[in-house]
Structure 1
Amino acid sequence: MTQNALPSVIVAGGAGYIGSHMVRMLAESGYHPVVVDNMATGHADAVVSGATLEAGDIGDPTFMRGLLQRYQPQCVMHFAAASLVGESMTAPAKYWRNNLVQTLNLLDTMVACDVKQFIFSSTAAVYGNPVEVPITERHPQQPINPYGNSKLGVERALADYSQAYGVRSITLRYFNAAGAHPDGTLGERHEPETHLIPLVLQVASGRREFISRFGSNFPTPDGSCVRDYIHVQDLCTAHLLALKKLGDGAPTTVYNLGNGAGHSVNEVIEAARKVTGHPIPLRDDPPRAGDPPVLVADAQRARAELNWVPQYPDIETIIAHAWQWEQKHAAMKR
């Protein structure tokens, strides 16, 4: 227990995109979020008041031991990772070190400090090229890039740490996180940006000239890739439910997080045109290596076992919330 006797939760990577939304939701839900971030890609101004920011590395045992002993957290939520698929192909050492080695160091420190609840942000990249759609948690796990391999490595370690050391964990496999806080005060600001929705909206706001479509001859209804977009607030709600489930003694397990509905690149661009009123010029570029035609989640387990119900499944709503943020952020950039 920490200040004001609120239960504390350590949020690794809490100054980043999804982490900052989670920190705000925790603070609004009666927790004291303690953000641990090395600020490599995080933003201090994204950490809401009511949270504590501790700058440092999760893989530093001395630093983390001090924090775990000081705050005695109920749980550690882990959002800190390198997550660019293309970069992982050319710099795999960075991904194995950041995503696996650092996490193993963190887990070892947790074991030493008797902190036994862990929520891990994983990814649909652990599945590789889908052999069936929608993808359930039982789908074969055959990553096709070092990013997915590094995340799967952590998942397998978590199963072993649970059995040997009693660290109970819930792993949440995201599909395509998107959107922004509905009030427009938090959103995506990656450098460089690689996600489709913010890139499309940067065209609408005048920060880019056009949006690239990487391939238009996929075996999909309109020839462009299909993805399952999930609102960042819905992701955070699932984490909050997972936190409560672990607190009730739930065993180690894994859940997909997605809406179960796919939207093609063309559909996303058209929805963005409708939301923004901007023509959004399009350029056709060659397909990228390793882009599966369709990635759509079966998230029935999360709905059934966590009682998770996405509040913002509509793609136009997701884009509208992201557009509020992009307009504000674009004005700040000028």
Structure 2
Amino acid sequence: MSPKAERILERASKALVRERIHDKRRLLDANAKHGKNLHLWLSTKLSPSDWEFIDRITMATAESLLTQETERLNKKFDHLQARRPKAPAIDQKRVVVNLTDTEIDDSTRAVLSKGLNFAPAPHKIPIKDIIGGIAQAVRKVSHDVAEEIRNEVSTFLKKAKPPKANLKPSELSALRRLTRNKDITILPADKGNATVIMKTEDYRRKTLDLLDDAAYRILPRDPTESITKRKFELIKKSNIPEEISRNLRPPAPAPPRMNGLPKIHKDDFEEHALISAPLRPKYFYRYVDDTFVIWPHRVDTLKPFLDHMNSRHPSIQFTMESEKEGRLPFLDILVQRKEDESLSHKIELTL
């Protein structure tokens, strides 16, 4: 079975489980109402002594059945948990890529390795947010269905309890520090499931570099309103059914927002390493495994730069050869620095 088919099967299985849960809840609610009506009816038909006797026997039987069923379901759950294969350990160094020049601690790395879709458990049930979301969602369904949904949500919220914490105290502190730190930007990589940390300054600069392309231009004003008006006119003139056309008319149209996704595969290794370097070369050229660098800073800062490049990936290590008497061989070319600081070259042929 292909990975896509497995994902479809998993989503379908979860949807079926959710439907069974909803169906059982509806049956339990119907049984509760029926039991309440039967309770009231019997209390009016039986004498007080008979009613007390039957009520006591009924409660004892119900508690016994509840205990037996709870034990059966717990055994079934433990059996399923034992059969479930253990997920492989996550390599946090692969799923969290740090493109800044600041090291991150284990708690920060553990939080980020959970992914950007991870949601910390709330300390209390967000009742107002849930009710507001339900009110927005049921606008497009019939009155009876909407009322049923509201009743089910109301019943659920009355019994709901806050979930258990899914973060350690140290991880929660790390998450708060990340939220307050405006000097870094955290976003997903362009490929894979990695989470990338980079300097906000570098993120903005690279995004602006993308906008320098001739495909983009600054508009004199926001065209959203005129485009929306034209769209509404076309929908009105069409033969599209009202139910469908209503969904085609957004209540609060807004222009899209642009965001960049960093590349983290090895082809862009040097770019990421250079971005995070304290000092950067003026030019950095690479041909396969050989690089040619023009360093505009002091000579004593070259060694820290080399150490920085070698610290970025354990399997990628650089060696360095500096110019001697203004000359430096590179591949089969001898590069020479002139007195006016310009460069010349001479091809060296080995027979």
State if a TM-score over 0.5 links the two structures.
no
The higher relative CO (CA closer than 8 Å, separation ≥ 6) is in 1
TM-score, structure 1 length as denominator? 0.19
Structure with greater Cα Rg: 2
Higher strand share: 1
TM-score, structure 2 length as denominator? 0.18
